[in-house]
A and B are shown apart, each in its own frame.
Chain A
Amino acid sequence: MLDLVLFTIAWIVGSVLLEWLFHALNQYGTYFYTASSQAVDGEHAVAFILTILAPVIAFVVVMLIYNFIRFRARAGDTNLRSRHQFRTNKLFIGVWVLVSIGLNLLFFVHPSASALEQMFNSEQARLNRQDLEVDVVARQWQWFFSYPQYGISSAQDANGNATLYLPVNRNVKFVLRSYDPWHTYDPYIGVIHGFWIPAFGLKQDIIPGETRYMYVHTSKVTSYDVNPMVRVQCTEVCGPGHPYMEAPVHVVSAGDFQTWVKKQLKLQSD
């Protein structure tokens, strides 16, 4: 009985400490830097799981430490065996099994299914009539961004490097394809790439021969110069050029975006 009381107190203290730690972590931001509503959703999912699991983690860790200290064999103890020999404890096992099933069902409903439903909704065509469409082509080892609605065939900065400009507070639909625009006749040249913008909180693989989509909703004005997490990064290994396959991202106001579009069109016509 004494052990149960002592352990429970230790467990509660451990849980509170861990909740405090996780709370601080979630306040700081487990995704470090977020610039889209999808990233914020993901961060909330992490926060929910950590908050619910804190007492479970505390239970196991406190149990390990408590057992280790409290039930250690003392030096000079002649009787090697423990006085307590039991094979089972129906209450403990029953609670354990039910709680672990319950927690997993909970996590499946929320955040897994609920957040996925949001993601699937954001991909519904009827909700995306005003989307900005960006065609993304990945080849070894380069990104191409084109804006069919604006007639920009390949967005570039002044040095000719691919660059991605997005207006803030807009739904963006990325159309993802992997092929080499200069060698379209070669079926062996396309490999799998990964399209990731760390600050946007999600990624999609780009498969040769398939067209895939990714939807984000930009939520703040930012750029690669503000935080290096605002960049396009290839995440699926695609050969020796893989680490160099990155491009800066700029999320700008609607007005600045229009200015940028005009500049691109002028660059293109020169």
Chain B
Amino acid sequence: MSSTFAGTSESFLRKGRRMLPPVVRGLFWAAIGFFVVNTLVSQALDRTPFAPYVTKVSVTFGWAAATCGWLLGLGAWELVVRPYFGKPVEWEVPNDWRRYFMMSLDHKVVGLQYMVSSVSGFFIAGLAAMLMRLELMNSSLWTFPTPNAYLSTVGIHGTIMMFSFGTVMLVSGFGNYLIPLMIGSNSSAFPRVSAISQWLLPAGIITVALSPILGTWTTGWRGYAPLAEQDPNGIVFYYLGVFAMTLSSLLVSINLTATILFKRAKGLTWNRIPMYAWGILAASLLNIIWIPEIEMTFILALVSNVASLPLFAQIGTPLTYMEVFWLFGHPEVYIVVVPAFALWQEFLPVMGQKTLFGRAWGVLGLVFVMMFSGLVWAHHMFTNMRDDQMLPFSFFTEMISIPTGFAFLTSIGTVWKSKLRLTTPTLLVFMSMFNFLIGGVTGVMLADPVINLQAHDTFFVVGHFHYTIIGAMVFTFMAAAYYWLPKFSGRMYSEFWGKVGAIWVFVAFNCAFGQFLLIGLRGMNRWVPVYPPYLRNMNFEISLFAFLLGLGFLFNLVHIVWMWRYGKPAKANPWNAKTLEWQSTAMPGETNFNPPPEVLTGFYDYSDEQPVWKPESPVEVS
């Protein structure tokens, strides 16, 4: 395999330019940017009585400067700014471990960077969840010093989980790595865009995780105004951190959409596009439609907060923030699960070595879920909407279960009479389908306004959305991690320990979140570190299973990391899959396909042995 990005290191040395390691350089410029701009704003431009060094206003501008410095230091200077002024792109990525600590133009490196950032976010937010469950083991305050501290933890948990893991892992992580490979391309459409966007993610995670430095915030992951306008300054870092993380997703989505539209190999027609690419396309379009909307909302809320405007206060329109938040917020959950649905339909034909059943219905399901998702948002607001709005939103919310069901239709049809290999990914996909079934049934109940008026804002809702997000997305993510581990590392996991890990999280998850549904109906409301004592026993039990679940995730992480390093070497195509990513043995830093492939037929037909692709014949130059 030839190396695309490593060949020029000698000329790099000859020029005699030396620089700090990019991460150090990024941190350095971030610090400089913050101190210069923050000092300028708080001490000169917007001096307030007693001149505190950090104010709401100065920290906002200081943060923006720090983020710019961080990105420029990591490579945006050489990759974007200098070329913009006509200089040649001089950015040498050494072909060793250092490539993971700088901006990289290789989509596989970017994918791995995203996965590591995203999994780090998952465990930071998971730790927050463990602290919450510790607090809830007792009906009075005992882990946290104040309710504010608990509520900040709730907000950090939800925000980091959603914006750095739920919407990121399958789209930006696996998507960046696998989509160009699966469509037979050697790079994504805009490699510099993904190179930059990846480094926004850790910036966003750290911003939100460190928000208590500025002060607590009590609104949870939604940042509800008008409450947010009263919150101490921590809410500023919520807006800024989420802005960084969503911007990261938006940039990736633009890149992946363009990649799927324009970088497909010869012969890869719309009828042959892999299911996962369909899922990523649907989720990316949702990102492109809705992220600008929510970012404008966060900017308005931030301005409203920093400049003390009454936009969402009693004399403004208090419900507007809720409306625009959920206008984005519900499509958001489909950004989370649509790639997971696509992955079921990706893995099951391979594991059963049987032709994908009803492919057109599967694609239709993904696309229609995407299109319906903008019509259901106000079901989050049955408790505060006008009566005449209830029925239409209830209608569309119930109807969205029809295209969702198509993912089950194709999956079930595919495994019927297949030769299903009971591997860890298979097991996890089945578990994921079971969990999403529970999430779906509770969703149909919540779509009913009369039931919703009782269950809204209780742990029933919390249980429902954890069933859809952990149950469907996280379980499918784990299936994907095991399925593609041989692709990423060239090594195989242990089937025994993989299954132990899967069953472990499945049991712990269902025991914990199944009881969420019951305790919600029993009167446990949300966002409370303190609750009536009659709910204590059940909460205590839930917490024990939640700790077990946390340990289960940790166990799977250790297993995967260990096997990445020490697993048995795997074959190039261990599952006997037909999709293109298995036809290339390229590791990060290497060219995917040389010469480029030409696709001859669809990837999901197991009825014959015909080759799916051939190397493209060289183009004749006339």
**Residues of A with Cβ closer than 8 Å to B?**
3, 30-32, 38-39, 41-42, 45-46, 49, 53, 57, 60-61, 63-64, 67-68, 71-73, 77, 80-89, 92-93, 96-97, 100-101, 104, 107-108, 111-113, 115-116, 119-120, 123, 179, 187-192, 194, 196, 198, 201-205, 207-210, 212, 228-229, 231, 233-244, 246
* Interface pair B417/A71, CB less than 8 Å apart: yes
In chain B between 432 and 458, which residues have their CB closer than 8 angstroms to a CB of chain A? 433-434, 437, 441, 444-445, 447-451, 453-454, 456-458
Contact partner, B448, options A45, A71, A101, Cβ 8 Å: A45
Q: Which one of B6-14, B400-408, B489-497 is at the interface?
A: B400-408
* Interface pair B151/A208, CB less than 8 Å apart: no
A241 contact set on B, CB distance < 8 A: 147
* Interface pair B357/A87, CB less than 8 Å apart: yes
A141 to B457, CA, bound (A): 18
- Complex A-B: 26 CB contacts under 8 Å: A31-B454, A32-B522, A32-B523, A64-B412, A73-B420, A82-B419, A87-B358, A92-B413, A93-B409, A97-B402, A104-B398, A104-B399, A112-B391, A112-B395, A112-B449, A188-B229, A190-B314, A192-B384, A196-B457, A201-B453, A203-B453, A234-B525, A237-B219, A240-B218, A242-B527, A243-B531
* Interface pair A209/B314, CB less than 8 Å apart: yes
A188 to B311, CA, bound (A): 10
A198 to B459, CA, bound (A): 13
In chain B between 556 and 608, which residues have their CB closer than 8 angstroms to a CB of chain A? 576, 605-607
* Interface pair A82/B606, CB less than 8 Å apart: yes
A63 to B390, CA, bound (A): 35
B532 contact set on A, CB distance < 8 A: 228, 231, 246
A134 to B229, CA, bound (A): 30
Closest-CB distance, A62 to chain B (whole angstroms): 11
Select the residue from A88, A112, A209 with max chain B CB neighbours within 10 A: A112
A208 to B314, CA, bound (A): 5
* Interface pair B318/A209, CB less than 8 Å apart: yes
* Interface pair A209/B315, CB less than 8 Å apart: yes
A127 to B523, CA, bound (A): 30
Question: Apart from A203-B383, A231-B532, A243-B531, what are 10 other A-B pairs with CB-CB below 8 Å?
Answer: A57-B437, A61-B437, A100-B405, A101-B402, A112-B447, A112-B449, A116-B390, A116-B391, A192-B322, A237-B151
A-B pairs, top 10 by smallest CB distance, nearest first, are A205-B384, A243-B528, A85-B607, A198-B523, A237-B527, A208-B314, A235-B457, A84-B417, A202-B453, A240-B147
* Interface pair B383/A82, CB less than 8 Å apart: no
**Residues of B with Cβ closer than 8 Å to A?**
146-148, 151, 218-220, 224, 226-227, 229-230, 310, 313-315, 318-319, 322, 352-359, 361, 383-384, 387, 390-391, 394-395, 398-399, 401-402, 405, 408-409, 412-413, 415-422, 430, 433-434, 437, 441, 444-445, 447-451, 453-454, 456-458, 521-523, 525-532, 534, 576, 605-607
Select the residue from A93, A203, A228 with max chain B CB neighbours within 10 A: A203
A89 contact set on B, CB distance < 8 A: 357-358, 413
A38 to B412, CA, bound (A): 39
Which residue of chain B lies nearest to A231 when distances are taken between CB atoms in the complex? B532
A39 to B453, CA, bound (A): 10
* Interface pair B226/A190, CB less than 8 Å apart: yes
A108 to B315, CA, bound (A): 37
B430 contact set on A, CB distance < 8 A: 64, 68
Q: A208-B313, A243-B147 are in contact. Are A64 and B433 (CB under 8 A)?
A: yes
Contact partner, A100, options B401, B528, B576, Cβ 8 Å: B401
A112 to B445, CA, bound (A): 9
A204 to B314, CA, bound (A): 18
B445 contact set on A, CB distance < 8 A: 46, 49
* Interface pair A71/B390, CB less than 8 Å apart: no
Contact partner, B383, options A85, A87, A204, Cβ 8 Å: A204
* Interface pair A93/B361, CB less than 8 Å apart: yes
* Interface pair A240/B146, CB less than 8 Å apart: yes
Select the residue from B219, B418, B605 with max chain A CB neighbours within 10 A: B418
Closest-CB distance, B137 to chain A (whole angstroms): 15
Contact partner, A108, options B358, B394, B409, B420, Cβ 8 Å: B394
* Interface pair B314/A93, CB less than 8 Å apart: no
A241 to B390, CA, bound (A): 31
A122 to B550, CA, bound (A): 47
Closest-CB distance, A192 to chain B (whole angstroms): 6
A31 contact set on B, CB distance < 8 A: 454, 521
* Interface pair B355/A86, CB less than 8 Å apart: yes
A77 to B315, CA, bound (A): 73
* Interface pair B391/A104, CB less than 8 Å apart: no
Contact partner, A192, options B318, B358, B450, Cβ 8 Å: B318
A60 to B521, CA, bound (A): 25
Closest-CB distance, A122 to chain B (whole angstroms): 11
* Interface pair B457/A45, CB less than 8 Å apart: no
* Interface pair A112/B394, CB less than 8 Å apart: yes
Q: A84-B418, A237-B151 are in contact. Are A204 and B384 (CB under 8 A)?
A: yes
Contact partner, B230, options A63, A191, A244, A246, Cβ 8 Å: A191
B415 contact set on A, CB distance < 8 A: 67, 71
Closest-CB distance, B538 to chain A (whole angstroms): 11
A179 to B390, CA, bound (A): 26
Closest-CB distance, B131 to chain A (whole angstroms): 16
Closest-CB distance, A36 to chain B (whole angstroms): 11
Contact partner, B534, options A57, A228, A246, Cβ 8 Å: A228
* Interface pair A85/B530, CB less than 8 Å apart: no
* Interface pair A208/B607, CB less than 8 Å apart: no
B453 contact set on A, CB distance < 8 A: 42, 201-204
* Interface pair A188/B313, CB less than 8 Å apart: yes
B526 contact set on A, CB distance < 8 A: 235, 237
A187 to B230, CA, bound (A): 12
* Interface pair B408/A60, CB less than 8 Å apart: yes
* Interface pair B151/A71, CB less than 8 Å apart: no
A201 to B452, CA, bound (A): 10
A68 to B421, CA, bound (A): 9
Which residue of chain A lies nearest to B401 when distances are taken between CB atoms in the complex? A104
A113 to B437, CA, bound (A): 24
Select the residue from A38, A190, A233 with max chain B CB neighbours within 10 A: A233
Closest-CB distance, A71 to chain B (whole angstroms): 5
A96 contact set on B, CB distance < 8 A: 405, 409
B447 contact set on A, CB distance < 8 A: 107, 112
A243 contact set on B, CB distance < 8 A: 147, 527-531
Q: A115-B448, A235-B525 are in contact. Are A81 and B419 (CB under 8 A)?
A: yes
